[in-house]
Amino acid sequence: MTLPAGIERHDFDGETGLATRGSPVYGEPTDGEWRRWDPHRSKLGAMLELGMDTGLDGDETVLYLGAAAGTTVSHVADFAGPTYAVEFAPRPLRELLSAAEDRDHLFPLLKDARRPETYAHVVEPVDVLVQDVATRGQARVAALNRQFLTEDGRLLAAIKARSEDVTAAPEAVFEDVVAELDDHYEILETDRLTPYHEDHLGVVAQPR
């Protein structure tokens, strides 16, 4: 697997794992300037660990939907360029703000990802749209935010089956979500995120 510039496999006390360079955010192991990117705590980390072809090569402009307290988006901001982080819950956003304190190109936005018109004036066209919103209507959120992606940009989405329907079989949910995504994106790759995240599907796609 080729890792984007700024992400390396690093040894942390005898355990090797993905790592980025930056200040720690969630109590992850560190070694000098490197901090471990835990794939059990991060769907994008799991996608990389599973060898999905994310198309990331470092330095890209990113819009991240569902940033929560910044676990994953802080790693993204460690290797990417301007990183806009949308989160609609005020509580995790407070922690996200402290992760952004020493990351000068991480921009937290207290916004609803279903209302892109409320941040369209702030967010520039992006190379990568990362989505981890764990809410009903995940395909719709991706469709609504497609407008920010450059023509050859990438959508890197983690779809949580239980957020769509707690009772349906995850496979059936994924099929429906991918079919809806397919109206707006060309699907390049999908993979289940087990063993890191149960009932999640990783999706790599390009805008149509």
Q: Which residues bind ligand SAM (CB under 6 A)?
A: 42, 66-68, 71-72, 86-89, 92, 112-114, 132-135
Beta bridge partners of 36: 19
CA distance 27 to 180: 37
Least distance to ligand SAM, CB of residue 54, Å: 15
For residue 82, how many other CB atoms are within 10 A of its CB? 17
The values of phi and psi at residue 132, to 5°, are: -150, 65
> DSSP character for 26?
S
Nearer to ligand SAM, 178 or 193 (CB): 193
Nearest to 100 by CA among 18, 192, 23, 186: 23
Nearer to ligand SAM, 21 or 41 (CB): 41
Nearer to ligand SAM, 151 or 166 (CB): 166
Nearer to ligand SAM, 10 or 43 (CB): 43
Least distance to ligand SAM, CB of residue 104, Å: 20
Least distance to ligand SAM, CB of residue 14, Å: 26
